[in-house]
Chains A and B, each alone.
Chain A
């Protein structure tokens, strides 16, 4: 048996620091919102001329007064991703096309064009935030119905931790937040909950079984009993996600990366946040028996 409970304090301090750092990053550095949430235009180009590089492309586009233009390689040397802010010119794509053709010859294939207006991006951001809020609330209600309040609090704190630290990491690394990241965050919420619930289920079962074991040791027993399941499921899920990350194409990179972070944080938080909340709230056999009587 691994003595997870020996490090409850240390890991709680670590988690609190991570959350504080994340909040700090989110407040002062902010998130790198993509065009879905900020509005603007995204163009994915493929060039047939390998001599064209990011800086030549950037120089060309800068001459068009598009405002803040970002140009970078996308996956390989001949694919480029161009992003710029909201532009009121309706024919901007056509103008860029003819400008590029003029400067480089007809070497570009426009593989993807996305254009999001300010109204739509504001709506998408709003519905994204609402989606996450609704998800957290529903999870809270579900776990509140299923378990005693001490358990709900533990699970929800673990969820907030996972979401905040994942977003904090995205802020730190400057990774782009787009619609698919919201989907990833929601899936993380589901996954982290899933993990926590499996351990909690066992904690409750053990609480009913043993009256003489303190919650400090009882959580440790429960974590150990479910440990191989926790590890196997995390590993298979990570195998699937790593496969999407490495082979699923550029478009799914951010999405799978967010999920990979989320699964790791989710597994960690089920052990070191959810359970320590039970310990700190001094959950005992009485907590679950009282609930059983009232049912």
Chain B
């Protein structure tokens, strides 16, 4: 255990120097790319907002079931099968057919080549499940069908969320999928997430529909209220003239005539055509502009608008017009989003946490170093040099991986400082015992190292197990703690067995004959 080759000695010195350099790149700026890395600060240290959004897929499923009812009716009509008593029961639909068609229906739904009911060979499952009870068929999405649907609405929602956040222009946002119906948004440096929360909380489903006074409208009609509750509820046709999908652009503007803030929009070709037709046939009618089920305004059409552009007014402030334009530009969410977890830390609290963490680290470090020096003198000095290098190694590794440092992560570093001396203490105490029976310093040191090895490994493996579990089970800040604690174990073992042992060996060889060495 006591022999070190020249090559080993040089390697240990080089590795130590390398990590000191890497660790110091957090303080100084280097031109070199490798050295240009920095530890990332977690949201709890730099300030920022963490939002966990959950997609409410129920409306999507209900909508799909509604569409499905039309598809089923048409599909079997072409095959001369009359679908009777077609009913939508939330996320299910039911229908019946004549007795002699029953088998055809079941066969169509269970056919692996079916156009109506796609089959997923990988999961051995259809999109829809069909069951029959007392001559009534029930159709609903299969488990796999729901998964597909959730995944696709998550993909769409992620894209829209990204566009909305990019539009606001925050600093390096982090937008990630979680499970199949959640989206995690991390916004560093943002201390008031109110605006983003309200922007993400809106589906932004925009439609242009005529106001009708006849609830026998062939498409059906519904009673909608005004966004600002300025007017009585109005009856609006379910027929959609235009939707947000047809928008190319939207911008907030000041209307020079009325001195009112408005949102101007430009339509694509299809949209422009439809808008032109609707405004030419509907002169004198009220066209309701509906956003997420609320009427923003319902102006009376005075002229045909063929230019493919127009404006929405609705008593906006400049801020609300800007937000509406932003929502319209970035598109509608496939389903409503709910914020189910929010954690926001202001930048000055983050800075306070950094300061407190650094002070605690410095004080903890000094206390441990003084204690160890008093206890072990020369070997205390060796332990302390090792401890300092250990800290550089730990910070160096965090820097190379550009890991995220959190407040509990700093606590993990401080704890590593406290626990790192354990291995050296185990070794030195063992050497002391060996020296009671063995007069030769070299032999005593050698067997001290050898005999303490299993205890040191055991002790570190148990802590490592705890750190690994924390890493996989914990979230955000706690992950940061497990990361520093876990990496700390490896750097501790390296620094004890290479750096401290090297220094010990050098010292012991020079003082072979000295009694009471430790």
Residues of A within 8 A of B (CB): 44, 90, 93-94, 109-117, 119-120, 124, 127-128, 130-131, 134-135, 138-139, 142, 146, 179-180, 182-183, 186-187, 189-191, 193-195, 197-198, 201-202, 205, 225-226, 228-229, 232-233, 235-244, 246-249, 251-252, 255-256, 259
Contact = CB atoms under 8 A, between A and B. Distances in A.
Contacts of A243: 360-361, 363-364, 367, 414
Given A93-B194, A131-B473, A249-B353, 17 more contacts: A90-B197, A111-B346, A112-B344, A124-B475, A134-B473, A198-B426, A229-B426, A233-B419, A236-B368, A236-B425, A241-B415, A243-B367, A243-B414, A249-B356, A251-B353, A251-B407, A252-B408
B346 A180 contact: no
Contacts of A109: 346, 348
A247 B362 CA distance: 10
Given A179-B478, A190-B467, A244 B340 contact: no
A197 B360 contact: no
A84 B398 CA distance: 37
B51 to A, nearest CB: 9
B482 interface: yes
Given A131-B473, A232-B421, A240 B415 contact: yes
B11 interface: no
Contacts of A113: 342-344
Contacts of A182: 474, 478
Interface stretch (B57-65, B168-176, B205-213, B454-462): B454-462
Query: Can you list the 7 inter-chain pairs with the closest CB atoms, starting with the nearest?
Result: A240-B418, A190-B466, A243-B364, A249-B356, A248-B360, A131-B473, A117-B340
B470 interface: yes
Contact of B371 (A142, A236, A244): A236
A244 B425 contact: no
Given A131-B470, A233-B419, A237-B418, A183 B465 contact: no
Nearest to A132: B469
A138 B417 CA distance: 25
Contacts of A130: 473
B395 interface: no
B411 interface: yes
A187 B485 contact: yes
Nearest to A111: B349
A127 B471 CA distance: 12
B429 interface: yes
Nearest to B421: A236
Given A180-B478, A194-B462, A114 B343 contact: yes
27 contacts: A93-B194, A110-B192, A111-B346, A112-B345, A112-B346, A113-B344, A117-B338, A119-B54, A135-B465, A135-B469, A142-B465, A146-B458, A182-B478, A190-B462, A190-B464, A201-B458, A202-B455, A236-B371, A236-B419, A237-B422, A239-B364, A243-B361, A244-B414, A247-B363, A248-B356, A248-B360, A249-B352
Contacts of B455: 197-198, 201-202
Given A194-B463, A232-B375, A255-B408, A110 B356 contact: no
A233 B473 contact: no
B371 A198 contact: no
A117 to B, nearest CB: 4
Given A240-B414, A251-B407, A111 B345 contact: yes
Contacts of A229: 422, 425-426, 429
Contacts of B411: 244, 248, 252, 255-256
Contacts of B422: 194, 229, 233, 236-237
B481 to A, nearest CB: 5
A233 B425 contact: yes
Nearest to B479: A183
A119 B478 CA distance: 20
Interface residues of B, number: 71
Given A115-B339, A182-B478, A237 B349 contact: no
A70 B357 CA distance: 27
A242 B375 CA distance: 20
Nearest to A189: B466
A135 B471 CA distance: 12
A194 B489 CA distance: 13
Contacts of A233: 419, 421-422, 425
- Which secondary structure dominates chain A's binding surface? helix
B477 interface: yes
B201 interface: yes
B474 A179 contact: yes
Given A189-B466, A194-B462, A241-B418, A110 B408 contact: no
Interface string B359-400: 111011001100110010000000000000000000000000
A186 B466 contact: yes
Contacts of B340: 116-117, 119-120
A141 B161 CA distance: 45
Contacts of A94: 194
Contacts of B343: 112-115
Contacts of B232: none
A238 B408 contact: no
A239 B371 contact: yes
A247 B359 contact: yes
A71 B142 CA distance: 48
A197 B375 contact: no
A232 B341 contact: no
B474 A131 contact: yes
A116 B51 CA distance: 10
- Which has the most chain B C-beta neighbours within 10 Å: A128, A198, A205, A226? A198
Given A201-B455, A233-B425, A248 B357 contact: yes
Contact of A135 (B348, B459, B466): B466
Contact of A186 (B44, B419, B454, B470): B470
B433 interface: yes
B346 A197 contact: no
Contacts of B356: 247-249, 252
A193 to B, nearest CB: 4
Nearest to A194: B459
B291 to A, nearest CB: 17
Contacts of B502: none
Contacts of B426: 198, 229
- Which has the most chain A C-beta neighbours within 10 Å: B411, B429, B482? B411
A256 B352 CA distance: 18
Contacts of A198: 426, 455, 458-459
Given A183-B408, A197-B458, A110 B346 contact: yes
B52 interface: yes
A269 to B, nearest CB: 14
Contacts of B44: 251
Contacts of A248: 356-357, 359-360, 410-411, 414
A162 to B, nearest CB: 13
Contacts of A116: 340-342
B188 to A, nearest CB: 15
